Amino acid sequence: MARRDISFASFNLLNLQLPGRPVYTDRDGWPEDVYLRKIDYTARMLARLDADVLGFQELWAPEALQQALDQAGMGESHVLVAPPGHAGDKIVCAGAVRGEMLVGLPEWITDFPPELVLRSTGDDPQQPTIAVGLRGFSRPVLHMRVQPDPSTPVIEVFVCHFKSRRPTEVWRERDWYDRDTHSPHANAIGYALSTIRRTAEAAALRVLITRITKGSHVPVVVIGDMNDGKDSNTLNLLTEQPRYLTTLSRGGGDNALYTAQVLQEYRSVRDVYYTHIYQDMHDSLDHILVSEQFYDNSRDRLWRFDDMLVLNDHLNWDDHKISGSNDHGLIVARFRWQPPSPSMPFA
């Protein structure tokens, strides 16, 4: 790619941990042979994606990811972005950035912004008061800055991993859970709690994004396992549901985000994008969202969408320990530097 072009990828690592180290309640963790297969698979996929900026989820041990980067031949070209001194006792969001592109120091955001107040007496006399006391992300959000070339603007990048759609295990709640009373309704309560948590996380990240994008021309990219589809409330919160314009229309929203999935659909005769399979249901849980600076039809465009690649064949086999694969598809979106010009306004 030319020096001002840029590509972004999302990669869920399926609990990449050093062998023999705990993974949640599994005190023994990955056996050595499984670990080596995971490293081999991860390295091969990293090389195939060949992205400038990668966002990772479910990383336990930064040393393991560095080993995969080295094996992929990216140890010298890319800088691993992981929390300093991370002890490998919990999963984190991480990144890898082509060395010369990383600007400044990254940060991991744990707390919700103070502007986010999830409390209301209702906008209808029949509605009871609602209040959500959640004040932090399940997984701290990585925020970093990248710049493809000194002649381009700095891009604000967020890497996130929202609460899964799996129901919260309410049987663990010792202060209120009663087996006889709540067991028949545990799934309903658990799904509701997971949805509330994921929705709150999306709203909190949206506030952080709006701080940057509203009334500005700053490029923003959000990479992550958002555990919801492109038409879900979670994604609608993040994107603010922009209007995708027709070929001859021009516009764009300074506070909007555009999903690479939809940008690719506009180029395809058929949408076959999925990054997760559960009970034979194919869904897209992993996304790359971009601000209007990456949207072809925006008056504020700097990069044009080139293409998007989804690596998901491995999802058709439930053999992750044998193959070393993960349980999510991998996505990469590529953009070419092409601001509008008088001779080529929106080609």
345 domain residue, yes or no: no
pLDDT at residue 269, rounded to an integer: 44
Domain residues for the domain of 128 are: 6-337
- pTM equals 0.91
Residues 6+ apart with CB under 8 A from 294: 219, 221, 258, 301, 302, 303, 304, 305, 335
CA–CA dist 278, 234 (Å, integer): 19
Chain-centre distance of CA 271, in angstroms? Answer: 20
Q: What CATH number does the domain containing 62 carry?
A: 3.60.10.10
Burial string for 324-347 (b: 16+ CB within 10 Å, else e) reads bbbbbbbbbbbbebbebeeeeebe
Q: Please compute the mean of the pLDDT values over residues 233-250 and round it to a whole number.
A: 75
296 domain residue, yes or no: yes
- Answer for the pair 340, 301: CB distance below 8 angstroms, yes or no: yes
342 domain residue, yes or no: no
The mean pLDDT of the chain is 89
1 domain residue, yes or no: no
305 domain residue, yes or no: yes
* DSSP 8-state assignment for residue 309: E
Amino acid letter, 38: K
pLDDT digits (tens, 9 = 90+) for 138-193: 999 999 999 999 999 999 999 999 998 889 999 999 999 999 999 999 999 999 99
302 domain residue, yes or no: yes
Quick check: 86 pLDDT over 90? yes
201 domain residue, yes or no: yes
pLDDT digits (tens, 9 = 90+) for 19-74: 999 999 999 999 999 999 999 999 999 999 999 999 999 999 999 999 999 999 99
pLDDT digits (tens, 9 = 90+) for 253-298: 677 888 888 787 766 544 557 777 666 667 778 899 999 999 888 8
24 domain residue, yes or no: yes
Q: How many domains does the chain have?
A: 1
The structure tokens 């001859």 sit at: 248
Q: Determine what percent of the chain is predicted with pLDDT higher than 70.
A: 89
Residue bearing the bigger pLDDT, 71 or 310: 71
CA–CA dist 334, 9 (Å, integer): 9
pLDDT at residue 244, rounded to an integer: 64
pLDDT at residue 296, rounded to an integer: 87
